[in-house]
Structure 1
Amino acid sequence: MGLQEKNYFLASGESLLCDQQERFLFSEVELEPLDVEISFDLPEVSNKSYRIAVLNNKGKHLSLKALDLRSALSQTDNEDEFSILSAAAQVVTWHASFKYCPRCATELIMDEADLAKVCPSCGHHQYPRLSPCIIVLVRKDDKCLLAHSSKFKSGRYSTLAGFIEAGESAEHAVEREVMEEVGIMVKNIEYVCSQSWPFPHSFMLGFMADYSGGDITPDGEEIISADWFGIDELPTIPPQFTISRQLIDRFIEER
């Protein structure tokens, strides 16, 4: 497939760009008057090819602005669009964050074959960063555990989540995070699905688990409040594009 047939994302710094109509995919022709620092391929999605062009400035011929990524993701129920938006955002963050070799401080250059940067001095390869995380919905009879985080808007509740630490399994991370955040034990941990989450480069592994013991005790730092909710008494929950909502919807379907 030729370059002229590919759709382009535009970026500046760590931000994806859009026009005044919130359009975030551009043609190769629209790139011609812009000052492009570098461009590279993104992973294919459903046999469609995409590229991302990082600009040295925001251009003189297009009225561009930073894309509100959360808003853009929340407005799509298309899995392919979510996937490519997430990929573009994570690659932009990686490109802006890794300019120099972490081993010898030489300026990195793009690898000719892979989506990677290589050090021309020591040969170190730097790939886009992914941070594995778990996210889990805990069940107790006909209710599920939802929590309000200090990072959430007022009234918003969601599932529990956290990063996987070096050397531990995803299942152990589920047990540890639930205990650390709300003080309860879980059992029957079951993997459900995964999702790339570009804030800034998380890879979410989604689980369901059953309550095993203990009393809910929010840690008071990450989790402000938490409780058991039946399907007829759910608080404000995350939008449908999120993996947390997928887990909640699965619980609702089971009931």
Structure 2
Amino acid sequence: MAAAALVPGAAVWLCCVAFTYLYNGVSDIGEDRVNGSARPIARGALPVPTARRVCLLLVALALTGAALLGPLMCLLTLCMLALGYAYSAPAFALKRTTPGTMVAVLGSGVLTYLAGAVDGTGRLTPELVVFALALTLWMGLVGAVAKDFSDTEGDARHGRRNWTLQWGGRRTALLVTFSSLAIGVLLAVAAVLLSAPGLAGPAATVLCGALVLSVAALTAGPDASRARRRVPYRVFMVTQYTAHLITFAQPLS
């Protein structure tokens, strides 16, 4: 597919992601209010009926745009929307457990990079595959777990069974520490083995982010404030954004 399709393709994917987050905000309103979340639906800034209508509009826009971009993009879009729905919908609620969340996040990551390849040059180089795999694992094994550190009160009250509640904050922090450092190290090793200078920046970013995240996770005691327990997830997000911004400045070959 021509590079000219990148902008409409990105718009389609933005609709998919916005639908996923907005629908999750509708389904999480109870937990979010207990946790003191500042999300717009939880604090009453966005009425639930309005949010539901916007969700339907986003789905319609995503499917219409994807249909215009071709059958493969349409299939990927359908899968992304279905995964976003399954994450929050009461009938599936992948969000209830950490493995379920991992499935949703890992699947979304894979679909996103595939859509990017389909919507762009369609060429998956070894460097791009390694980067996509590493950052997908970063989202699925680190972010999907760290996001629960700050929300134990609401999660427990509404029947969640994530690892932070089942295993305790300390054990889960150790797991996140191991996962994040392992991903950073493996990405750095891959950059050396592939002689891929384009991977050096993202690898250094992920490794540094993993170190900061690990310290933040391991030093947050059980009595820490919600804001303090949220720090590991914020570090995760900053690391993820930075690694991708580096690839924009120095595209992978």
Q: TM-score range by the shorter chain?
A: under 0.3
The higher relative CO (CA closer than 8 Å, separation ≥ 6) is in: 2
TM-score, normalization by structure 2: 0.27
User: Quick check: which has more Rg, 1 or 2?
Assistant: 1
Of Structure 1 and Structure 2, the greater helix share is in 2
